[in-house]
Structure 1
Amino acid sequence: MDGYNIIGAWPELRALKTGDLASARDRLIEKMAEYQAFTGYKVIVVFDAHYVQGIEKKYKNYKIEVIFTRENETADERIEKLAISLANIKTQIHVATSDYTEQWAIFGQGALRKSARELLREMESIEKNIGKNVQKSLESKPKTKIQLPDEIAEIFEKWRRGGQ
């Protein structure tokens, strides 16, 4: 995924970027960790080096692989190289970017594209599903470790409060 392209396309991240680019990057990585955990897909986020001075860096954050390109290398170039190196008959690669030129370049490598808007809609759906799963879990969880009839629970509650 082209990290800065997604940041520029998603309203929440774009707003963060104007005040603090590092916060926008961190938030994108958090969201992609949720995406990876929910879908089971491996996620690699690539950021252009021109926003971060220094040499090429790779690290893992929330089990997400994060790459900052070399100084004279664009995210698009790195993504194309990754698409070539990762492509095999058992792996279907999806590249998230709204850069039209990049979309055509990755098609040539056998990868499928996902626009920033499509990824945002998918992420919103995932977040709703996570919320529903959490709510179901909370509702089905017993309030006590021992299941008690309501009448007995009321008696214990009165005792707890000091009543008889």
Structure 2
Amino acid sequence: MDILLVDGYNIIGAWSELNELKNRDLSAARDRLVEMLADYQGYTGFRVIVVFDAYDVKGTETKYRNHKVEVIYTKAEETADERIEKLAVELSNIKTQIHVATSDFTEQWAIFGQGALRISARELLIEVNAVNRQIGGEIQREREKVPVGKIQLSEEVAAIFEKWRRGEK
């Protein structure tokens, strides 16, 4: 199984669409990131976990699912980097490959040392866009397979078919 751990705010800051949205509505930027990653998860089969810092926020760790993507807000005094490193250790086993999406160079080296693979924010955006294009292509091919709803018939032929349908001669 492949698991993708995502440093949420790092990705939001690196992707222009989300960064612009963040400046207007941070919550909407988080939601949009999760939506994009939900499509990615559904298509690739990766288990996706998005981690957001709550470093400056008082409170406890929060976990929930949104569009089947696991979302974690760290506990107070814990950074997303620290939580991602813990998750990489906890989830790592012989049957699991951990991937970490962040452009934080220090974090990349820390998780690489634990056997996880790193994906930069730019590389993840390229993959997400490629998946979206593939999904769009598959939807288009499926639409082309669907037969046209009705065949245009003259009134005369339609009347004959209607008689046949009713069992009349």
Quick one: higher RCO (CA 8 Å, sep 6+), 1 or 2? 2
Query: Once the 2 structures are TM-superposed, how far is the Cα of residue 130 of structure 1 from its aligned partner?
Result: 0.8
Q: Which one-letter code corresponds to 2:54 in the other structure? A: A
Q: Give per-residue Cα distances to partners, 1:129-154, cap 9 Å, x unaligned.
A: 1111111111111123xxx7xxxx22
In 2, Cα distance between equivalents of 1:91 and 1:73 = 25
Query: Once the 2 structures are TM-superposed, how far is the Cα of residue 53 of structure 1 from its aligned partner?
Result: 4.9
Structure 1 stretches lacking a partner, 5+ long: none
Paired residues of 2:92 and 2:98 also in contact (CA < 8 A) = yes
Give the aligned length: 153
Equivalent of 2:15, from 10, 31, 42?
10
Is 1:113 the counterpart of 2:111? The answer is no
Q: Which residue of 2 aligns with 1:31?
A: 36
Structure 2 stretches lacking a partner, 5+ long: 1-5, 159-169
CA 1:88–1:46: 2 relative to 1, 3 Å:
same
Q: Which residue of 1 aligns with 2:3?
A: none
Q: Which residue of 2 aligns with 1:101?
A: 106
Give % identity.
Answer: 61
Equivalent of 1:67, from 65, 72, 85?
72
In 2, Cα distance between equivalents of 1:83 and 1:158 = 71
Q: Which residue of 1 aligns with 2:128?
A: 123
Q: TM-score, normalised by structure 2?
A: 0.85
Name whichever structure is richer in strand by fraction. Answer: 2
Q: Which residue of 2 aligns with 1:154?
A: 152
Query: Once the 2 structures are TM-superposed, how far is the Cα of residue 51 of structure 1 from its aligned partner?
Result: 6.5
Q: Which one-letter code corresponds to 2:118 in the other structure? A: R
In 2, Cα distance between equivalents of 1:18 and 1:159 = 63
Q: Give per-residue Cα distances to partners, 1:30-89, cap 9 Å, x unaligned.
A: 001000000000000000004655321000111110000001000000000000001111
RMSD in angstroms over aligned alpha carbons?
1.9
**113-122 or 135-144: bigger deviation:** 135-144
In 1, Cα distance between equivalents of 2:11 and 2:155 = 52
In 2, Cα distance between equivalents of 1:127 and 1:94 = 20
| Higher CA-based Rg | 2
Q: Which residue of 2 aligns with 1:136?
A: 141
> SS of the residue aligned with 1:154?
coil
> SS of the residue aligned with 1:93?
strand
Q: Give per-residue Cα distances to partners, 1:84-107, cap 9 Å, x unaligned.
A: 001111111000000000000001
Q: Which one-letter code corresponds to 1:154 in the other structure? A: Q
Q: Which one-letter code corresponds to 2:140 in the other structure? A: Q
